[in-house]
């Protein structure tokens, strides 16, 4: 019994040694496989980035078809990469393959519904389909969404894209709402305030436009476009004295600005304080201009006053013209009440013949006074 003990000890030692060697071999093999796997994945990632770089260059140079293949190749090595999927969607859109682009974008949106870039791209596809509700939804998601970099700039850019879309569809009330929301958060950048002011002017919101033009001038005192814009806005609001101040500045800085010059001349005419003789002369001129405008309109419409079965508004004006004309050369013309009746005729002519062309110069000034005789800023 005692003689068996020396034999069992070497056997146990050999078994322990074999186990240790096998463990070392297993660890070494695992490390080798892990290293090979890591290097393989690194190689795949490198290839994917190489293909993505090619895709970026192709997309930037207008070769969308090649960019699609590049981004698909990149995804073959890294199929879950959201950046590659997004860039592939952009390339597909650039190639006009809108349904495929939308499929990738919807997949991304379902994972990141607040992603600003994804929402903007989906909004652009909705614009292409002229889908108003989806366009509004995705643009608003982008405006209030998450951006990886420059969030304020990207949100403003998204809102401006939305405004342009709404302008094309003449949705003025919605444009105004977007611009009012935008102006509150604008930084002290004269270019941005000028952009918003011009957009307000496009929808005839002269009150907000005037405020933005003034903001531009506070930031950039010599901005000629803002001076002209503020002058025009004040003019349209009936604030003629304010308009003169800005329009004079605009015309002094740009002698070729005929639009501002004409509005300046008209505003000065509205504000002018004239003598009785000058007033009579201007009333006569206004009557002649209105009569000429009326006659031109009658001729353009092919109408023959006095020969219709029933008098229309133009015929009535023609009859009044015939009645008033001779009295402008007699004593009756000295009566202020008569002069007022002549001006009533002038204003009515301009209103009834608006579709025959717009009045200019003194004629326009008198019309403006007639529209706002009591409230015009003098």
Q: Which residue numbers in the chain have pLDDT < 50?
A: 1, 40, 307-311, 373-376, 378
Tell whether 209 and 238 lie within a shared domain: yes
Tell whether 333 and 266 lie within a shared domain: no
Q: Report which of 223, 230, 257 is spatially closest to residue 245, judged by C-alpha positions.
A: 230
Domain presence at residue 10: no
Domain boundary among 245, 271, 297: 271
Domain boundary among 271, 298, 332: 271
Tell whether 267 and 301 lie within a shared domain: no
Query: Which residues span the domain enclosing 366?
Result: 277-371
Q: Report which of 363, 140, 334, 337 is spatially closest to residue 266, judged by C-alpha positions.
A: 363
Domain presence at residue 258: yes
Q: Report which of 232, 248, 222 is spatially closest to residue 200, judged by C-alpha positions.
A: 232
Distance CA 43, CA 145 (A): 35
∠ CA 350-210-236, rounded to 5°: 5
Q: Which residues contact 243 (CB under 8 A, 6 or more apart)?
A: 231, 232, 234, 235, 263, 264, 267
Q: What's the confidence (pLDDT) of residue 17?
A: 67
Burial 73-83, CB ≥16 within 10 A → b, else e: bbbebbeebee
Domain presence at residue 225: yes
DSSP β-bridge partners for residue 146: 115
With beta carbons less than 8 A apart as the criterion, state whether 141 and 113 touch.
yes
Tell whether 264 and 327 lie within a shared domain: no
Q: What's the confidence (pLDDT) of residue 259?
A: 93
Domain presence at residue 93: no
Rounded to whole angstroms, the maximal C-alpha distance in the chain is: 159
Any idea what the CATH number is for the domain that residue 219 is in? 1.25.40.10
Tell whether 355 and 285 lie within a shared domain: yes
Could you read off the pLDDT of 176-200 as tens digits, one per residue? 999 999 998 899 999 999 999 999 9
The token pair at 75 is 């995804």
Report pTM: 0.64
Domain presence at residue 302: yes
Domain boundary among 271, 290, 324: 271
With beta carbons less than 8 A apart as the criterion, state whether 111 and 82 touch.
yes
Q: What share of the chain is helix, strand, coil (3-state, %, to 5)?
A: 80, 0, 20
Q: What's the confidence (pLDDT) of residue 189?
A: 96
Could you read off the pLDDT of 314-325 as tens digits, one per residue? 888 888 888 888
Tell whether 313 and 246 lie within a shared domain: no
Domain presence at residue 238: yes
Domain presence at residue 80: no
Burial class (CB in 10 A: 0-12, 13-18, 19+), 65: middle
Question: Residue 146 gets which letter from DSSP?
Answer: B
Helix (H) or strand (E) holding 202: helix 190-202
């Amino acid at each position: 019994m005692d003689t068996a003990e020396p034999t069992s000890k070497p056997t146990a030692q050999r078994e322990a040694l074999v186990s240790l060697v096998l463990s070392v071999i297993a660890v070494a093999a695992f490390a080798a496989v892990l290293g090979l796997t890591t290097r393989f994945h690194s190689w795949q990632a490198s290839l994917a980035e190489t293909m993505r770089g090619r895709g970026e260059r192709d997309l930037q140079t207008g070769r969308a078809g090649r960019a699609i293949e590049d981004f698909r190749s990149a995804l073959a090595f890294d199929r879950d990469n959201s950046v590659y999927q997004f860039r592939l969607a952009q390339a597909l859109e650039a190639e006009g393959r809108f349904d495929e682009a939308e499929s990738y974008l919807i997949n991304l949106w379902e994972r990141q519904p607040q992603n600003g870039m994804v929402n903007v791209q989906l909004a652009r596809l909705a614009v292409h389909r002229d889908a108003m509700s989806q366009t509004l939804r995705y643009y608003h998601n982008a405006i209030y969404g998450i951006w990886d970099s420059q969030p304020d700039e990207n949100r403003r850019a998204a809102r401006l894209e939305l405004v342009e879309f709404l302008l094309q569809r003449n949705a003025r009330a919605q444009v105004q709402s977007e611009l009012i929301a935008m102006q509150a958060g604008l930084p002290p950048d004269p270019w941005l305030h000028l952009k918003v002011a011009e957009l307000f002017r496009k929808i005839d919101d002269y009150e907000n436009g005037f405020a933005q033009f003034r903001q531009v001038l506070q930031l950039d005192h010599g901005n000629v476009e803002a001076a002209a814009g503020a002058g025009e806005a004040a003019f349209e609001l009936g604030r003629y004295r304010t308009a003169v101040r800005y329009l004079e500045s605009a015309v002094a800085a740009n002698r070729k600005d005929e639009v501002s010059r004409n509005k300046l001349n008209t505003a000065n005419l509205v504000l002018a304080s004239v003598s009785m003789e000058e007033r009579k002369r201007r009333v006569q001129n206004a009557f002649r201009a209105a009569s000429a405008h009326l006659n031109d309109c009658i001729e353009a419409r092919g109408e023959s006053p006095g020969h219709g079965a029933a008098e229309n508004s133009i015929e009535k004006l023609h009859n009044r013209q015939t009645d008033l004309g001779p009295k402008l050369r007699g004593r009756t013309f000295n009566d202020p009440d008569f002069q007022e009746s002549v001006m009533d005729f002038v204003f009515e002519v301009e209103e009834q013949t608006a579709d025959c062309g717009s009045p200019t110069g003194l004629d326009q000034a008198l019309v403006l006074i007639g529209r706002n005789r009591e409230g015009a800023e003098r």
